[in-house]
Every structure is written in C-alpha cells, then in structure tokens.
Structure 1
Amino acid sequence: MEKEIKISFHVIPSYKDLDETEKKLFDAAKAVRENAYANYSNFLVGCALLLDNGEIVTGSNQENAAYPSGLCAERTTIYWTSANFPKAQITKMFVIGAPRNMLSSQPIPPCGACRQSILEYEAKQDQPIEIYFASLEGEIFKTKSVRDLLPFSFDSSFL
C-alpha cells in the first residue's frame, strides 16, 4: 500500500509583501548573515527569532576546519536563546541563506539537523514556531511549524 504526505506552506512573493514584524525579522536575519564565519563553504546564513516578549535574537552559521564542528545559524541562534531566555517562547524564525558573492532567489530551508533541533524546542515550549525561509531576494516560504518540513518526526514520545 502506498500513502502520500502533503505539506502545507505559504509563498510570500517578495519582501514588499511582508508585514512590518516580518520585515524586521527579514532585515535582522539578512544583517546578521554578514557575521557568518563561513570560510570553508562560503555559504552565509542568518537567523532571526521573535520571542513572545517581543525580543528579536539573531545568529549566523559558524564553521570550523574540523568538520562537523561548526554549527548552522538556526541551531546557533536557538541554543543561545534557550540559554539566555530560558522561559521565553519562540514564535517566529526567519532564515536567510545564500552563497557569499552570489545573488540567489531560491528560498533556503533549514537542514535536517536544524529541523530536528527546532522540533525539540517546539516540544519544549508546547507551541509551534512559524518558520520563514528565503534567500536575498525573491519568494519567501512560510510554514506554521517545523512539522510541515519534518513530517515523520522523531521526538521524546518514542523514548
């Protein structure tokens, strides 16, 4: 028997179609992307989180010559946020990625390891995190939860 899984996501045509909060997150992720330490991949990623207290927290990918010792922007940001705002809930996550010296319009989603980490924090706070992902220009994709990007999720219910 074959079954099918459908995922749901929203396509926002461009930056100008974002609301003011979304534009702040986009701008924050784009700006912090420039702080990425990506000397090996030359692929810069910025992440901005909106917390339920209104705070915006940002982070970027940090690489290391001893692969896989580096961390993606999403995990760098979410781990720092949990350590410094342990009671705050993450309501939105904005991720922007692109090669260092190349314009790209293809939305860049979180990798598998980041999806699993985001899932853990959704479970921890018992609330979904809206995830937006984009490149420097073009369409922006939005999901209501990481579960839309990780339909066969592994969480603590299996342990």
Structure 2
Amino acid sequence: MKELKIESTLYVYDNLNELDKDVISLMHKASEARDNAYAPYSKFNVGAALLLDNGEVITGSNQENASYPSGLCAERTAIYYSGAKYPKAKILKMAIIAGSTKSQTTEPIPPCGACRQSIAEYEVKQDLPIEIFFMGEVGKVVKSNSLANLLPLVFDKSAL
C-alpha cells in the first residue's frame, strides 16, 4: 500500500475590499446576476461572472425547474454560454456569490460537484488555470488559483 496525500491551497480574504479592483468588479457582476436567479423551490440564489481573455464578462444565474434535474446552476449557465458565444476565448477568472433568500448567508459557498466537473472540462480544454473566487452574500471571500484545488482528482478526456 502507498499513501497518497493531496493538498489544496486556498486564500481567504475577510471581505471584498481586500481584493483587486478587477475582482471586486467581477464579484459585483456576479451579484447582479444573482438578482436574476430563478429559485422558487430552493430559495437559494446564485450568480456567477466570468472574465474572458478577450475582455468580455459573461454572467449566469441558477435557473430551477419543478423537475429538479432540469435546472441549471449559475456557474454552468455562465460557462456554457461563454463556450457557445466565444468558443476560442479562455476563462481567466470566475466569481460566484450565493445565498438563501430565507436568511443571510455569511459563509463562502463553493461550486457544487457538477459545476466543479464542468469548470474542470474548460480548464483542461484551455490548458490554463481558472482563478475562482466565491463567497456568501457578505463576509469572507475564498480564492482558488485553479479548479484543481477544489477537485484534485479530476476526471477528464485522458481517462477516455
């Protein structure tokens, strides 16, 4: 038997004001996208914003459905739209803001597993890490320099 130790490095900021101006702007875009979420069932609204290497900012919000598996998370909404609209552009940064409409969310909310896998697909495809910033409605912001920190044993095309 051999032990495999996996480590991830994340950076935690006390609030948005500690971030660079371009990231603060991206987080505000994610917050605006969150306002467009359709989450009548979970009451949990999420907004995502992507900064592409062509300077474009793409946003997405979660869109629920009475048939739960038919809904789509904010991160995947934004990623898939960027891939459809700008197929050659690379995603440089992703900002995510999430929270319940029932009570204020103060803890950072990372992408779900399905979104992590989708982000991984684009990070592998573009051969460039995507910086990911995530938070609740207020409070701390977590930064990952790559999806690999959030999904270290990635399933990708090399397994096929």
**TM-score normalised to the size of structure 2?**
0.96
Structure 2 residue matching 1:95: 3-state secondary structure:
strand
User: In the TM superposition, what whole-angstrom CA distance separates every residue of 1:44-67 from its partner, at most 9, and x where no partner exists?
Assistant: 000000011111111100000012
Are 1:47 and 2:54 an aligned pair? no
Report SS of the residue matched to 2:70: coil
Secondary structure of the corresponding residue to residue 114 of structure 1: helix
- Structure 1, gaps ≥5 residues long: none
1:61-84: CA deviations, max 9, x gaps?
Answer: 000001210000000010011000
* 1:73-103 deviation line (CA, Å, top 9, x unaligned): 0000100110001111100000110001421
Tell me, which stretches of 5 or more residues in structure 2 are unaligned? none
The two structures have a TM-score, normalised by structure 1, of 0.97
For 1:106 and 1:127, the matched residues in 2 are separated by 28
Partner of 2:97: 96
Deviations 1:4-38 (A, max 9, x none): 32111111111111111011111000111010000
Instruction: Give 1:59's aligned residue.
Output: 60
- Alpha-carbon distance in structure 2 between the residues aligned to 1:22 and 1:3: 34
Which position in structure 2 is the counterpart of 1:158?
159
AA aligned to 2:109 is I
Cα-Cα RMSD: 0.9
Identity of aligned residues (%): 55
Residue 76 (structure 1) aligns with: 77
